Structure 1
Amino acid sequence: MGQPINEIQEELIEEFGLFEDWADKYEYLIDLGKKLAPMSDAFKTEENVIKGCQSRVWLHAEKQGDLVVFQADSEAIIVKGMISMLIRVLSNHTPAEILAADLYFIEQIGMSQHLAQTRSNGLVSMVKQMQHYALAFS
C-alpha cells in the first residue's frame, strides 16, 4: 500500500510552508509542473481534455490492480503544477480512498485565495474529473 493521502497532503503543506511570500510559492508550483512526468501524446485527445479549465489540461486515468493511476499535462505551466500536486496526492490509491479524500491541502497552502477565479474553477474541475474516474473504476 502506498503512502496515505493525508500524509502526502501534510508533506505538500510543509513544502509550501517553507516559502514566505506568494512569488516563491508560485515559483515552487512552476517547478512542480516542470517535474511532472511526461504524458504520452497518445493520451492527449479531446476525450481526455478537462472541461471547465481555461487552459487545455489532459487527464488520463487507468486502473492498475486495485489502484487508480493518473497521468496529465497542460499547456500552462501553473496549471501543470496544480495538476502535478493533485496527481501526487491522489494517484496510486484505490477508488474508495480517492472518493473519500478531503483535499484540505489546497486551502492550507493558500492556493484557493491566491488563484484567479478562472484558475480556481479549473482546479475544481480537475478534482471533479479525478473523482469521476475513481467513481467509474469503483
Structure 2
Amino acid sequence: MPAGANTFFQHVRAIINHKVEAASLSSISIEIQDVPAFDAKRLAEHLGELAKSELDGLAVVGLEGDALLAPLLALKKNRIPVVSLVSALPSLEESTYIGIHNVVAGRTAARLVGMAHGGGRAVFSSSSVR
C-alpha cells in the first residue's frame, strides 16, 4: 500500500486492519506492506521479491510503467493472482481491477456539467500520468 498520509488509503488501511483478526480465525493471513507512494522503481523491486514468495494472492495499488511489467509477469508466471486497486494494470492481462470506470465517470461528469450550465458545448481536457 502506498505509504503516507493520504486519507483514502488511511481509510482502506483501517478497514483491512479491522478484518485481520476475523480472518485469522479462519486461518487466513492478511498483511499490509507499505511502499513509498508513486515510486515505481521501489514498487517493482517489492513486487519482484513477492513473486519469489508463496502467496495465495496479492492486492496492489499499482502504477503503470515499464519497470513494473517484469515483476507483474513473474507474479503471473508463479500463478499468484493480482488484484489492482484504484489503477488498472492493462499490461497484465487477466488481472482483476477494483476501482472507478473512468469512461463512465467522465460521461457522468460531462452530463452533470451540461445540466448545471443549461446544455450547450463544453471542452474538457485532461492528462494521464504514466
**TM-score, normalised to structure 1's length?**
0.26
**Which of the pair has more CA radius of gyration?**
2
**TM-score, normalised to structure 2's length?**
0.27
